[in-house]
Amino acid sequence: MRQWAWGVVLWMAWTVGAQAQVWPDRPVRVVVPFPASGATDLVARVLTQRVSQDLGQQFVVENRPGAGGTIGAAEAAKAAPDGYTLLLTTSSTHAISPHLMPRLTYDARRDFTPVAHLADAASILLVTSALPVKSVADLIAYVRAHPRELNYASSGNGTIVHLNAAAFSAQAGIEMTHVPYKGTAQSIADLASGQVQVLFDSVPTGLPHVRSGRLRALAVTSEKRSALAPELPTLAESGLPGYSSVTWFGLYLPAGAPPALVERVNQAFTRATQATEVAASLAKLGVEPAAPSSPAQFGAMVAADSARWAAVIRQHKISLE
């Protein structure tokens, strides 16, 4: 009896390993929980095109937008963990929304298997050109001399744009007034005219307004300087040691995916992020490929990011209401 049971275990292990080795033998569905033509969608299409070429199989991007990405994430969580439904998502669904939406229909940790950290997108700290500041230190000093007189824009309550500014204010020990918009694009005109004074925008969308002279850039939020604007210091270089914030792009399988399959998917997408032409395409979007990492390292990174944003959300009593 014991020999029979051991044989079953060996057969199951061999079957899982064999399935991982042949994956994919049919088209793969890649759920993107955000609208078409948005940053996550564009990143997904750049990467899946390369993976499809490498593996000789079709990878079909399916947009399932709504509720800050949580609708698509919930749908992906219910799929079979066989490698034929992947979720390509961002910090929003796995590090931020769980602390803003207590009634989520998925558990960001329990219902997913981390696969790969794919890429990161930094933000840029912008101020209206009328403000008499030329550096982060100048801005902090100005706000301290004029508490709560400055307004900072965001793309809405609880967005990464809002959280970046909240984390900045907390670390700098300053107070500004939050003015939420329906998107950062809508706030640019008000920022240029001085109705709001501060905005954390994405690097590629903010830079053209800086180079035209409409706005002034002070720093980027990433650990390292951005390749798109190497002349700009990081916030950490500018007097806020340890400050680092990026929107990360990552890949998940539903919970229960076999380790051999997880590793194969990780390797396929990691190879894609390291391809020269992929890096060039991502750079045009203001996105930089992540350094190769294991599924466990990706999971640990997300857990740390989630804990950080949970603390910011609690401290500033941020809600979606």
pLDDT digits (tens, 9 = 90+) for 213-223: 999 999 999 99
Cis upstream peptide for 114 (omega within 30°): no
CATH topology of domain 26-121+246-315: D-Maltodextrin-Binding Protein; domain 2 (3.40.190)
Percentage of residues in the chain with pLDDT exceeding 70?
93
First-to-last alpha carbon distance for the chain, in angstroms, is: 60
Distances (CA, A) of 39 to 34, 67, 249: 9, 16, 10
Angle between helices 259-273 and 276-284 (to 10 degrees): 70
Q: Are 26-121+246-315 and 123-220 in the same CATH fold? A: yes
Which CATH superfamily does the domain covering 123-220 fall into?
Answer: Periplasmic binding protein-like II (3.40.190.10)
For residue range 25-35, list pLDDT tens digits in order.
999 999 999 99
Nearest alpha-carbon partner for 115 in 46, 56, 47: 47
Q: Would you kindly state where each structural domain of the chain is located, as residue ranges?
A: 26-121+246-315, 123-220
For residue range 139-185, list pLDDT tens digits in order.
999 999 998 899 999 988 999 999 999 999 999 999 999 999 988 88
